[in-house]
Amino acid sequence: MIYIVNKSNKPDYNIALEEYCFKNLLQHEKIFILWINEPAIIIGKHQNAFEEINADYVKKHNINVVRRISGGGAVYHDLNNLNYTIISNEEKGVDFDFKTFSQPVIDTLKELGVTAEFSGRNDILIDGKKICGNAQAYIKGRIMHHGCLLFNTELSVLAKALEIPKDIISSNATKSVRSAVDNILPNLPNKISVEEFANKLLAHMKRKFPAMKEYTFSQQELAEIEKNRASKFGTWEWNWGKSPKFDINRHSRYTAGKIQVFANVKNSMIENIKFYGTFFGNNSNLEEIENALIGVRYTYTNIENKLKDLNFNDYFAGFSLEELTKAIVD
């Protein structure tokens, strides 16, 4: 196992670094990364940025917007927010085990005198308030789990940056869960800085994995990360994309996540369809299932029968056939 203490505070670069480790450092079975971003909103891969972010506020306050490669909802980062990543080789079908990957944080907080607990699908709570949201991506037997720890974050900025002006968005969009949140720092018996907290978490991981060694990137690797940042995570096309305009706009919420469906239907046939939401899946290429639904008659029975022929749980983990069909059509 290796660990990386990433000193960059640039969110697009940090997301690019994380993806590089996930997809390229395959010789390392487990990787642990700590990183801190300057003010930024990090949105889930399948989210519609225009419906998650107060764009005017973000622009006025120079808050970065970056889309990550994992599912889940939008989160706010700043310099008093600690992010951690655990990359691990896992068998397919681990069913997005957020609790196991969250345990190092819960254990570290316990060592510092704070009782935290895992709750719901992917949250860590202190006294019923969310202090960490988690997300995961899965590619070819490899899981990337990352968490956003609210240490001493500006919660008022968080609320405003993710606030949706009602006069701008009127559609029933899939919004991120706006949970009751809190910072870790006020709950600590002995106050420390976010950097000290990062060191405590790293020290815990070193005790748990005594063979873990620090990894240093080569110049060639750093150049590849920068290239990926410039061509992908630093671009408007990746981070914002185009706001979808469709005839049909449906949103649903299930235990496995929220899902928003945009569709164009002509002569009762699906001409185009797009999925957005906070769901997770082993296959993140939604175009495959979207293209498969083009040309299908827009009725419950026809869509249900088509979904039966597709491995839809690879894209929408935890959804039943009935739930996904109802999300698309009545």
Q: Which of 236, 267, 285 is the last residue of a domain?
A: 236
Same structural domain for residues 227 and 137? yes
Residue span of the structural domain in which 126 resides = 2-236
Reported as a pLDDT band with limits 50, 70 and 90, residue 13 is very high
What is the Cα–Cα distance from 77 to 43, expressed in whole angstroms? 11
Dump the DSSP string for 235-248: SHHHHT-PPP--SE
Together in a domain, 255 and 315? yes
Q: How many other CB atoms sit within 10 Å of the CB of residue 210? A: 8
User: Considering 181, 215, 236, which residue would you say is the last residue of a domain?
Assistant: 236
Residue 100 has pLDDT above 80, yes or no: no
pLDDT digits (tens, 9 = 90+) for 222-250: 999 999 999 999 999 999 876 566 788 88
Q: Per the structure, how many domains does the chain have?
A: 2
Distance CA 146, CA 44 (A): 12
Given this model, what pLDDT does residue 166 score? 41
**241 in a structural domain:** no
Same domain assignment for residues 156 and 259: no
* % the chain with pLDDT above 90: 60
**Residue 109: CATH number of its domain:** 3.30.930.10
User: Do 116 and 221 share a domain, yes or no?
Assistant: yes
Question: Does 242 reside within a domain?
Answer: no
Packing angle of the helix pair 194-208, 98-111 (nearest 10 deg): 110
CB 282 within 8 A of CB 314: yes
Residue 101 forms part of a structural domain: yes
Give the whole-number percent of the chain exceeding pLDDT 70.
91
324 and 300 housed in the same domain: yes
The reply to whether 135 and 214 lie within a common domain is yes
Q: Does the residue 29 lie in any domain?
A: yes
- DSSP secondary structure string for all residues of 99-154: HHHHHHHHHHHHHTT---EEETTTEEEETTEEEEEEEEEEETTEEEEEEEEESS--
Report yes or no on 269 lying in a domain: yes
Q: What is the pLDDT of residue 256?
A: 87
Report yes or no: 129 and 180 within 8 Å, Cβ to Cβ. Answer: yes
Q: How far is CA 190 from the centre of its chain?
A: 31
How much is the average pLDDT of 210-225? 96
Q: What is the CATH number of the domain that holds 293?
A: 3.30.390.50
pLDDT at residue 301, rounded to an integer:
93
Does residue 93 sit in the same domain as residue 211? Answer: yes
State whether 227 and 261 are in the same domain.
no
Amino acid, res. 311: N
Q: What is the pLDDT of residues 81-90, one digit of tens each?
A: 999 999 988 7
pLDDT number for residue 25: 96
- The reply to whether 14 and 123 lie within a common domain is yes
Instruction: Give the pair of three-digit tokens for residue 103.
Output: 């345990």
Is residue 129 situated within a structural domain? Answer: yes
Average pLDDT value for residue range 6-22: 97
Task: For residues 64 and 192, state if they share a domain.
Answer: yes
Instruction: Please count the residues of the chain.
Output: 330
Q: What is the pLDDT of residues 290-304, one digit of tens each?
A: 999 999 999 999 999
Q: Is residue 293 part of a domain?
A: yes
Higher per-residue pLDDT: 72 or 192: 192
Average pLDDT over the chain, rounded to whole? 88
Domain end, chosen from 212, 236, 260, is at 236
Is the domain of 103 the same as that of 207? yes
pLDDT at 203 over 80: yes
Instruction: Please indicate, yes or no, whether residues 271 and 211 belong to a single structural domain of this protein.
Output: no
Nearest to 270, CA basis, from 300, 244, 242 = 300
pLDDT digits (tens, 9 = 90+) for 36-63: 999 999 999 988 887 788 888 998 999 9
Inside any domain, residue 243: no
